[in-house]
Amino acid sequence: MTERDALMRKIQEFAFAAYEWNLYLDTHPNDASAIEQFKKMSEACKHYTKEYEKKYGPITAEGVEDDECWSWVDEPWPWQN
Amino acid sequence: MWSYQKKLQYPVNIKNANPKLASFVVAQYGGPDGEMSASMRYLAQRFAMPDGPSSALLTDIGTEELAHLEIVGSVVRQLMKNASTAEIENSPAGAYFINHGKGVYAANSNGSPFNAFSFASTGDPIADLNEDLAAEQKARATYDNILRVSDDPDVNDVMKYLRQREIVHYQRFGEMLDHVQNKACERKPMFQGVTL
């Protein structure tokens, strides 16, 4: 696995963990420890997303760092392997 | 509204072309129990949900199903992309290829185009949540069938992930049905045209 793929994998893992807590909280909205877990996971996801965008390009359009070239259009798109 | 994230919810890296398998997997793109049907069903039903938690759950699962639609589309595309014309012609994907090439089209495994009848939105939260429980099981059964006929480990890894998500959604919908029914018992009059 390339370094890029490994970092993306980390983002996918933390995003997934955060989202699982999100769904759990939709049916258990008063579980404070779950809210804490959700926040932990989404913070980690944000952290690695920032690192990824700096190194490899944007994950959201707001993540475009380059002022000269609109890197949002760069390949690969997620379905390309 | 939605904003796009340039990543898949779960990675898809198919190494071997397999047009026959693509024509089976496409069922979960545009078939009655597929991801398009699931996302549109929940995102339509949520408008008539009675409270905050039920509106949240339908919105969130509906959004996740859009991510699954993207995953299934990626699998279909990657299975078709490097297939030779001869390979496609001599596979069940031959008829699909004439209209859709190596692109992704919302059809079931027989080639019938997507049908909005599968959305099933009644405006009644209890009816809709029961529908959703059945829908998750039907999607799970379809993934089971794909896993029965597929021997590609790259595809199976993704199918197993998606199958597992149906089970988690089933669990959450069950909890939400319980919540909505309990809430309906607390207050009178109930819904059916009357605000809960």
Total number of domains constituting chain A:
1
Average pLDDT, integer, range B82-98: 96
Query: Is residue A39 one of the residues assigned to a domain?
Result: yes
Task: Calculate how close chain B gets to A36, using CA atoms only, in Å.
Answer: 19
Residue A79 lies in a domain: no
Mutate to test the interface with A, among B1, B3, B6, B161 (most CBs of A within 10 A): B6
Looking at chain B, which residue has its C-alpha nearest residue A29?
A: B53
Q: Which domains does chain B have, with CATH numbers?
A: 19-186 (1.20.1260.10)
Average pLDDT rounded to a whole number, residues B8-16: 98
Instruction: Tell me how far apart the alpha carbons of residues B90 and B71 are, in angstroms, rounded to a whole number.
Output: 26
Q: What is the per-residue pLDDT for A5?
A: 96
Across the range B30-46, mean pLDDT stands at 97
**DSSP letter, residue B152:** -
**Residue B184 pLDDT more than 90?**
no
Q: What is the mean pLDDT of residues B72-98?
A: 97
Residue A13 forms part of a structural domain: yes
Q: Is the pLDDT of residue B192 over 90?
A: no
Is residue B44 scored above 60 in pLDDT?
Answer: yes
Distance CA(B157)–CA(B166), nearest Å, equals 15
**Does some domain include residue A53?**
yes
A81 in any annotated domain = no
Q: Å from A57 to nearest chain B CA? A: 10
> Can you give the pLDDT at residue B193?
56
Nearest-CA distance from A37 to chain B in Å? Answer: 18
Range of the domain at A53: 3-73
Q: B74 in contact with A at a CB cutoff of 8 Å? A: yes
Report the percentage of chain B scoring pLDDT > 70.
Answer: 95
B174: three-class secondary structure by DSSP: helix
Minimum Cα–Cα distance from B12: chain A residue? A79
> Looking at the DSSP assignment, which residues form a beta bridge with residue B107?
B113
Give the per-residue pLDDT at B191: 55
- Would the pLDDT of B189 be above 70? no
The answer to whether position A24 is within a domain reads: yes
Contact between chains at A27 and B176 (C-beta distance less than 8 A):
yes
Q: Whole-angstrom Cα distance, residue B71 to residue B65?
A: 10
- pLDDT at res. B185: 75
- pLDDT the model gives residue B119: 87
- Give mean pLDDT, residues B102-111: 95
B179 interaction partners in chain A (CB closer than 8 Å): 27
- pLDDT, average across residues B19-33: 97
Per-residue model confidence (pLDDT) at position B188? 58
Distance to chain A for B66, nearest Cα, Å = 14
Q: What is the DSSP string of B104-160?
A: ---B-TT-PBP-GGGG---S-HHHHHHHHHHHHHHHHHHHHHHHHH---HHHHHHHH
Alpha carbon distance B190, B182 (integer Å): 11
A26 closest CB neighbour out of B7, B10, B53: B53
For residue B194, what pLDDT band results from cuts at 50, 70 and 90? low
Q: What is the average pLDDT score of chain B?
A: 94
Does residue A7 lie within any of the structural domains? yes
Would A60 be classed as within a structural domain?
yes
pLDDT tens-digit readout, A28-77: 999 999 999 999 999 999 999 999 999 999 999 999 988 899 999 999 99
Confidence of residue B53 (pLDDT cuts 50, 70, 90): very high
- Taking residues B152-175, what's their average pLDDT? 98
Task: Specify the length of chain A in residues.
Answer: 81
Chain A partners of B4 at a C-beta cutoff of 8 Å? 60-61
Q: What is the pLDDT of residues B118-151, one digit of tens each?
A: 888 999 999 999 999 999 999 999 999 999 999 9
What SS3 state is found at B92? Answer: coil
